[in-house]
Structure 1
């Protein structure tokens, strides 16, 4: 499958089965995702695998962030969550926003690679990604920020992922104004 075919066929899977890639299966995909454009090769990102009880601990942290008594069941929607963290590096040349864009690029590339490898993936976020309770649960350092999680699992048999309308490239691809 070409990169163009993979991009065209990618879907978000809000419901997945309880199978997930192993740590060993993730390693080559993470290595490939790390090839995104990265000014000065700062690698201003890191990923955290959440499986089993880690997902329950995240549910408790989300509940704390939202002021709820009952742990959130959201992290239990997939057997594997991959937290995407911006881990900025000090740089005179590369501003924070650009480093955050690199981390976002890694997340998108990884979701594309996981999808192409046959796994169901959806990138989930929420206002609580910036909460102290959730940051603490992930062991984030002072300047790090959580961008969200890739929820990963098996693609259910006989189901199709979410539908997305194609964009009209003519509407979004323009040229600089002439003077």
Structure 2
């Protein structure tokens, strides 16, 4: 059984979670990121397969992702320039990749869920460390140029990217509507 203080800290972290669509130019170092990834790996993982991997995209890698976006789309001119600039909205992007393993016990969807769990835990850990993050996806995630850029193997799928940076000083608190838990928690 956990203490009330520990449970309260986790509850506060989860209820205080928000996405940051705009971040500053600061980002966690690789060393800081490794610590957070190690902690995020503690998430539920049926069969202990670790069916995921992450890629850091900094500097020129973000520009190459923008070029892959343009190559994967039918955009030209101003629209292509806008699309190419999307990965430049944060100094660090973390590609979230589900890397499925052949298993008769753990279905693909369970492996995808484990990968998504690691990604979500990582967003909570980044927030706790003082960083802003937003999980972004979109129609280009599963296109050939984007797959090639990320060197995805057979059995791997890109789940999107965490856009990570500093939290702006003028950032307004995120608003997330509360739910009526009775509507979502049934009894069998």
1:143 alignment counterpart? 155
Q: Confirm or deny that 1:36 pairs with 2:43.
A: yes
Three-state SS of the structure 2 residue aligned to 1:120 is strand
Q: Confirm or deny that 1:73 pairs with 2:85.
A: yes
Q: Matches of residues 55-74 of structure 1 in structure 2 within 5 Å?
A: 55-69=62-76, 70-71=80-81, 72-74=84-86
Q: CA shift at 1:116, angstroms?
A: 1.2
For structure 2, which runs of at least 5 residues remain unmatched after alignment?
1-7
Contact 1:12 1:161 in 2 (8 A): no
Q: Matches of residues 1-179 of structure 1 in structure 2 within 5 Å?
A: 2-69=9-76, 70-71=80-81, 72-176=84-188
The two structures have a TM-score, normalised by structure 2, of: 0.91
Cα distance between partner residues in 1 of 2:169 and 2:20: 12
Cα distance between partner residues in 1 of 2:97 and 2:181: 31
- Alignment: residue pair count: 176
For structure 1, which runs of at least 5 residues remain unmatched after alignment?
none
Contact 2:96 2:161 in 1 (8 A): yes
Q: CA shift at 1:160, angstroms?
A: 2.3
Cα distance between partner residues in 1 of 2:51 and 2:173: 31
**Shift in CA distance, 143/153, structure 1 to aligned 2, threshold 3 Å:** same
**Shift in CA distance, 161/138, structure 1 to aligned 2, threshold 3 Å:** farther
Cα distance between partner residues in 2 of 1:143 and 1:174: 35
The two structures have a TM-score, normalised by structure 1, of: 0.95
Contact 2:101 2:155 in 1 (8 A): no
CA-to-aligned-CA distance 1:75-95 (integer Å, 9 cap, x gap) = 000000000000001101001
Q: CA shift at 1:66, angstroms?
A: 1.0
**Shift in CA distance, 134/161, structure 1 to aligned 2, threshold 3 Å:** farther
After superposition, the CA RMSD in angstroms is 1.1
CA-to-aligned-CA distance 1:25-66 (integer Å, 9 cap, x gap) = 001110111111111100000000000000000000011111
Runs of 4+ in structure 1 off by over 6 angstroms are none
